[in-house]
């Protein structure tokens, strides 16, 4: 029902004496109080997370100041120990729902500090934490730990941490398994993996859209479209070593994303689809028409193309996404 229909229904109920002014005022007050409570919870959550970020900065600054004065055991304690302590506090606080986002804030601290702690522990053990086999171990351990926490508390933030560490694990494990293989160029192999990660994010965003995790869809649509379209654009390469297949396929991928943005009513997909379409037009113009038309004329064509893309994006947004 739109606003006019609601008002007509209220007028009908009032005329039939089925709705009183007191009931209507009470409903308004109840809705306003609920909105205010939700706003306070949102502000409180923001402060929790900002406070968690400040705590991490403080921990890093403190460690940097006293690092040279500490022995190997204390290096592990102040890094890995701090991360584990934050994780345990997050578990304990998440059991008390009255504390709001206090638990997830400590999980944020743990997610930022634990990778450093694991790297320091491996380094102090004489291992190489920058090698892919140890990167694989660290990322898998962290992904497993945060996924277990998610199974306990079903928090959206824990989903993001799990996805982040799982993505790290995917890049580390696949890089370790392939190694310096001459069949795979290092940059090209990374681009194909980024393409797979972006597609996975888009699928996850779609699967979350009709669930209690729908608040994550916008983030995943943004990250997924950036990774997917960015990798596809990079795979096209640059003249004279361009990949014609990806240059021809890329417009279809962009228009598929733009079509999906209308169908799914996703501003993230519309925004990044439009940005990458504009980037593609500038790339093709400067790559193929600079020599034949001249650089100034190529710039004019690129600018006009950007204006057209901006106009069409605005029309799509107003017509389909502002409902």
d(CA 18, CA 12): 9
pLDDT digits (tens, 9 = 90+) for 192-230: 999 999 999 999 999 998 888 888 899 999 999 999 999
- Give the model's pLDDT for residue 162: 95
CB-count exposure of residue 14 (10 Å: 0-12, 13-18, 19+): middle
CB atoms within 10 A of CB 131: 13
Does the structure show a pLDDT above 80 at 119? yes
Whether 295 has a pLDDT exceeding 80, the answer reads no
- CA-nearest of 225, 241, 229 to 280 is 229
Instruction: Tell the residue number behind the tokens 């277990």, with chain if given.
Output: 148
pTM as predicted? 0.77
- List the domain boundaries for the chain: 180-323
Alpha-carbon distances, residue 10 vs 21, 32, 91, 247 (angstroms):
10, 19, 48, 58
Residues in contact with 298: Cβ distance below 8 Å, sequence separation at least 6, in sequence order: 285, 286, 289, 290
Lowest mean pLDDT among 28-32, 196-200, 316-320: 28-32
CA-nearest of 191, 282, 292, 208 to 243 is: 191
Express each pLDDT in 235-246 by its tens digit.
988 777 788 899
């Amino acid at each position: 029902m739109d606003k006019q229909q609601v008002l007509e229904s209220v007028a009908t109920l009032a005329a039939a004496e089925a709705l009183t002014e007191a009931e209507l005022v009470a409903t308004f007050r109840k809705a306003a109080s609920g909105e205010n409570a939700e706003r306070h919870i949102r502000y409180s959550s923001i402060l929790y997370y900002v406070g968690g970020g400040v705590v991490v900065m403080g921990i890093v600054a403190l460690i940097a100041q006293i690092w040279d004065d500490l022995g190997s055991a204390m290096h592990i304690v102040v890094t890995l120990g701090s991360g584990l302590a934050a994780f345990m506090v997050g578990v304990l606080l998440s059991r008390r729902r009255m504390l709001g986002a206090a638990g997830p804030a400590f999980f944020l601290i743990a997610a930022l500090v634990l990778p450093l702690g694991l790297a320091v522990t491996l380094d102090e053990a004489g291992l190489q934490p920058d090698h892919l086999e140890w990167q694989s171990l660290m990322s898998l351990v962290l992904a497993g730990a945060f996924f277990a926490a998610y199974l306990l508390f079903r928090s959206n933030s824990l989903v993001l941490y799990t996805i982040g560490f799982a993505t790290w694990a995917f890049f580390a494990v696949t890089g370790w398994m392939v190694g310096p293989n001459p069949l795979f160029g290092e940059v090209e192999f990374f681009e194909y993996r980024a393409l797979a990660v972006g597609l996975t994010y888009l699928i996850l965003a779609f699967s979350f859209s009709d669930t209690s995790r729908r608040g994550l869809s916008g983030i995943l649509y943004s990250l997924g479209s950036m990774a997917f379209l960015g990798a596809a654009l990079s795979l096209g390469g640059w003249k004279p070593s361009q990949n014609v297949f990806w240059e021809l396929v890329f417009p279809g991928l962009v228009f598929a994303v733009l079509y999906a943005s209308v169908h799914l009513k996703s501003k993230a997909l519309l925004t990044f689809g439009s940005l990458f379409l504009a980037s593609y037009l500038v790339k093709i113009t400067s790559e193929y028409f600079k020599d034949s038309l001249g650089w100034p004329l190529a710039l004019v064509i690129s600018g006009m193309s950007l204006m057209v893309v901006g106009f069409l994006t605005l029309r799509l947004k107003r017509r389909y996404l502002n409902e």
